[in-house]
Structure 1
Amino acid sequence: MAAPIPDLPILAEDDSMLTRKFGREVANYFSGSPLNRVSFLRGDHGFLSSAFSHPTASFLLMENLSPLAQDPTKLAYVEKSIVEPLTGSDPFKKTEEELLKEFNSDVAFPVILFLGIDEKKKSGFEYKDYRGAPYFAVDVTPKGSITEVAKGVIEAAKAKGVSFLPGTRHITLNAPEGEIPWFFVQKTTPADIGAAAIYAQARALLDWNARNPFCGGCGQKTLSVNAGMKRTCPPTDLAGVPEGGAPKERGPCPTRHGVSNLCFPRTDPTMIVAVVSADGTKMLLGRQKRWPPYWYSTLAGFLEPGESIEEAVRREVWEESGVTVGRVVIHSSQPWPYPANLMIGAIGQATTEGETINLGNDPELESAKWFPMEEVRDALLTGTSGLGEAAPEGYKEGGLRLPPQTAIANRLMDAVTGGFLAASKI
């Protein structure tokens, strides 16, 4: 049985010059979080302590990157008392300088992310000019010296009748219902919390923290600071030092000299493109060997240093399919937290002389074909599914299969077959 398709986020309507000229802006799955990240406050420990301790603070638990959830569509949040045995009563009371002085590489600490505040909720939390319910994510994966405590937190959460979502993709989580608040259009537009966007933010950041336990400059252990948004290389270490003893000096590190080169979360820009033929009647799609039979998608690839998005589109399409693309326009983008991609969606048009398919350059694709627009349009209605799912009801064996609505590839194909404008819901 195919997984349920969540509603996609929709931006609030506006009557701007740009919208009248280019159509309504598109928000793809995993985007549309209604939380205000107030990122400039992540280094303000007074703010973080107040937010963490407030009675309305919500905590999303993540175990091995799987989120705590009520069901496959809704995240579950716990109160501070559940996470306190693992995090302590106020993990943000010490400044970054104090944490660096007390760094002990033998002691494990859970990564605690500040996600943002929900300004629509009149929670009573207030800090300077900022009001709203605080949201955090906590990594409760049992590891090292916190293994047993983390297991206890996991069991306490499960005792509330919720569980951690199995699997890796979690693309059944709800996007915001209704319209997304848009700071410059309708900031007060009502919307439910967008589970998919909050999960994407938490997953990408926790995955990045887990992948960077050591400094890229000197190879020594790093410390997570700034509410999970920065990792730094401490100059001293208390590991192996008797209680009350002076910390040991660590080896030199380039991040502590000259211009600071601390480690911040990475985002990998990736282009993905729906390529149309020169006469606009066909669409170029490709497939990899590991995909189900008849399952095709748009072409994609990573941007390289010193390369524009448009150049990356032309290079990747030619390398993978041999097709030469001329004009390229940007359609929309999608956060894709596996682990930290930003999918930049584009629509490109092949040149009249460059439509011949040649798979002899890059062997990534097993097949690439030009499909008539009508066939793609029909497949968007009857042939979409996730890679691990069976074809939907109504699909006829041998027909074209495509990615689901939660993938930007689907939205690009829908936009092209619908007239190249903003994507519509099928």
Structure 2
Amino acid sequence: MPTPSLPQPAHPELDSMLTRKFGKEVANYFAGSPLNRFGFLRSDNVFLSGALKHPSASFLLCNNLQPLTKDKTKLAYVQYKDVQPIIGEDPYATPESKMIETYNSKNFIPQMIFLGLDESVKENSFSYEAKNAVHKGAPYFAIDVTPKDPLTQQCNDVIKSCEDKGLTFAQGRAMDLIAGDAAIYAEARQLLDWNMRNPFCAQCGHPTLSVNGGFKRTCPPTDSSTLPSTAVSTSNTDASSIDRPACATRKGVSNLSFPRTDPTIIVAVVNHAGDKLLLGRSKRFPKYWYSTLAGFCEPAESIEEATRREVWEEAGIHLGRVIIHSTQPWPYPANLMIGAIGQSVPEGEKIDLGNDPELEDAKWFTFDEVRTALRVGTSGLDEGPKPEYKEGDLRLPPETAIAHQLISAVVEKGFLAAESKM
């Protein structure tokens, strides 16, 4: 199957000082969403309710975080009437403040995410006036339809109805989706996954409530459930809710928990002479398959510091200058890949794998070796190279990987010298 094309960056044809200096911006796979998220309207239940029930609304179903698809390249969507058996008449009918005030932890609420509006849809689209402007577009939502009590049967029925129409839930990592669909799925998956992982407050241990269109979770101060685990104290009168214990999340700026994003560096390392590239391989890689080095950023560490630390820990190489090239959302489960290019110092180019045993091997490859691999040796982990590939030569990640874009930026596109080669 052909590799999906990358999304178009913003204003790709605009000439500017930065474009002339660094070349055109790169928008990596899983980025480039066609949706405007309208984050400032997520707390407006009237907006969400209207968007939910509008005829132009589309709903992406996810079963165990796998998206509903027409085929490997395109997402499939259902309509409001199809998901009503799961979400009910209108889960946004009540303002957030009232939902928190009347919170009952025994009530099961299917997880739903407001993804945004597709403003390219002009005719018969949803329209809403707010913030001194009229906002128009086709609404998009994501819904978790993983069968679980008390809606196991309803979810199974919806899943079967979709499968009867020839639709399927993707298997494995959805890396064959066209660019825009991949970005929509990345948003849906990461938010559904985060909500699923955080049903309880990290401070007091009590159940939390998803609010703000699925982008925040709150720890309500009261709970109308009579479960002993939440019934901590009551007043002398018959109250409709029971006070929960004091919780640090209710003090200070706001009583909210926000989605987790893990910053991760990934770097193409150039030698001091500017004619070789450092690449590494792990044991899980196919034979002759190498990639750029990567690792998680740690607390109180800059991106540049994290890049230098990871490269030294994994390969023993000391970096001098580090610059940022581009970034890539990676929803497995919540990474933001921060793509960098770093250059080694003259006295720090000897490879040493003895610090961190993560890599099986690391090597310096000439630019010519890398260019050949970019032309005939790229593939996914579970795919073979192109027919022209010669056994034993270098293999590299596909274009949908930010590693590929970093490598290409160094050896082909002359990043940092847009009008000349490094």
**TM-score, length-normalised on structure 2?**
0.91
Matched, 1:340 2:334: yes
Residue 272 (structure 1) aligned with residue 262 (structure 2): no
Identity among equivalent positions (%) equals 61
1:237 aligns with 2:215: no
Q: Which portions of structure 1, spanning 4 or more consecutive aligned residues, are displaced by more than 4 angstroms?
A: none
Q: Could you tell me which residue of structure 2 aligns to residue 7 of structure 1?
A: 5
Unaligned runs of 5+ in 1: 176-193
- Aligned equivalent of 1:119: 119
Whether the 8 Å contact between 1:53 and 1:89 is mirrored in structure 2 is: no
Pairing 1:67-78 to 2, within 5 Å after superposition: 67-78=67-78
C-alpha separation in 2, matches of 1:65 and 1:305 = 29
User: Deviations along 1:243-271, whole A, 9 cap, x unmatched?
Assistant: x9722222221112333352100111111
Alignment-mate amino acid for residue 5 of structure 1: T
2:103 match: 103
State the partner residue of 2:174: 170
| Distance in structure 2 (CA, Å) of the matches to 1:137 and 1:377 | 41
The residue number in structure 1 matching 2:195 is: 209
- 1:411 is displaced (CA, Å) by 0.6
Asked if structure 2 preserves the Cα contact closer than 8 Å seen for 1:383 and 1:400, the reply is yes
- Give me the whole-angstrom Cα distance separating, in 1, the residues matched to 2:277 and 2:291: 10
Retained in 1: the 8 A contact 2:397–2:404? yes
Unaligned runs of 5+ in 2: 228-237
The count of aligned residue pairs is: 400
Which residue pairs with 2:233 in the alignment?
none
Partner of 2:147: 142
2:161 to 144, 148, 156: 156
2:360 matched to which residue of 1?
A: 366
After TM superposition, the structure 1 stretch with the greater mean CA deviation from structure 2, 413-422 or 283-292, is: 413-422
CA distance in 2, matches of 1:105, 1:147: 19
Say which SS state the counterpart of residue 150 (structure 2) adopts.
helix
Q: How does 1:315-330 map to 2 (within 5 A)?
A: 315-330=309-324
Could you list the per-position Cα deviations for residues 290-328 of structure 1 after superposition, in whole angstroms to 9, with x for gaps in the alignment?
Answer: 222211110011111221111111111011100011111
Paired position in structure 2 for 1:26: 26
What letter corresponds to residue 3 of structure 2 in structure 1? I
Rounded to whole Å, the distance in 2 between the matches of 1:325 and 1:261 is 42
Q: Name the SS for the 1:354 alignment partner.
A: coil
User: SS of 2:347's equivalent?
Assistant: helix
How big is the shift at 1:401? 1.4
Cross-structure match for 1:312: 306
Partners of 2:369 and 2:114 in 1: CA distance: 46
Q: Which moved more, 1:100-109 or 1:403-412?
A: 100-109
2:374 to 373, 380, 391: 380
Distance 1:390 1:100, change over 3 A: same
Cα separation, partners in 2 of 1:93 and 1:261, compared to 1, 3 Å: closer
Report the Cα distance in structure 2 between the residues aligned to 1:36 and 1:106, rounded to whole angstroms: 34
User: Matches of 1:158 and 1:393 in 2, distance apart?
Assistant: 36
Match for residue 231 of structure 2?
none
The Cα offsets for residues 135-157 of structure 1, whole Å up to 9 and x where unpaired, read as: 11111111121211111221222
2:189–2:331 contact (8 Å) kept in structure 1: yes
Whole-angstrom CA distance in 1 between matches of 2:51 and 2:203 = 33
1:260 maps to 2:254: yes
